[in-house]
Amino acid sequence: MGKLSRFICLEPLEKRLFFLSLGWILFTRFALTIFPFKKTLALVESQAKKYLKNPKATSGEISVARLAWLISRAAHIVPGSTCLVQALAGKIIFASQGINPKFHIGVNMQEKHDLEAHAWLTLDGEVILGQMPNLSKFKPLSGASLLDI
C-alpha cells in the first residue's frame, strides 16, 4: 500500500492531527532557525499551556502511540526535522489532545570529546516520542540547564 493510500485510510481525526503535526513541525523548525532555543522553548511551553486549558479533543479519542506515529510521519516530510524539532512540536500536539508530556534533552560525551545530544518526550516515566535503543546513554539536562542553552 502506497503512502497516499495509507493517508486516505486514516480516520478524519488522524488526518486532522497529521496536518496539525505538520504545521507545528514546520513552526518549530522555522522558530529554531530564527530564535534562540530559550525563546523557542518559551513559545512551545506557552502554546502547550493554551491547549491544555482548552484541548481540541479528549486523549481517549486517539492513543498516545498512534499520535506519536502521526507526528513522526509528518516529520518525514519536513527537511531538518531533528529529534529536537519533533519533541518540541510533539509537546504542543500532545497538549492539543489534553496530554501533558515532559520534555527532555540529554547529552552524551563520546570518546574524543564529541558531544551528542537527543530530545524526547515522556509520559508517566515512559518514552512516548524520541525512543531509541541506546537512550540510556544520554544524561538528561535539568530544567535550569535547559534554560542555559
In tens, the pLDDT along 44-63 reads: 999 999 999 987 655 458 99
Q: Hey, what amino acid is at 85?
A: V
pLDDT tens track for 8-52: 788 889 899 999 999 999 999 999 999 999 999 999 999 999 999
For residue 136, give the 3-state DSSP assignment: helix
Question: pTM to 2 decimals?
Answer: 0.88
Q: Three-class SS of residue 30?
A: helix
Using the structure block, give the residue that is written with the C-alpha cell 526535522: 81
Contact 100, 48 (CB under 8 A): yes
Burial class (CB in 10 A: 0-12, 13-18, 19+), 89: buried
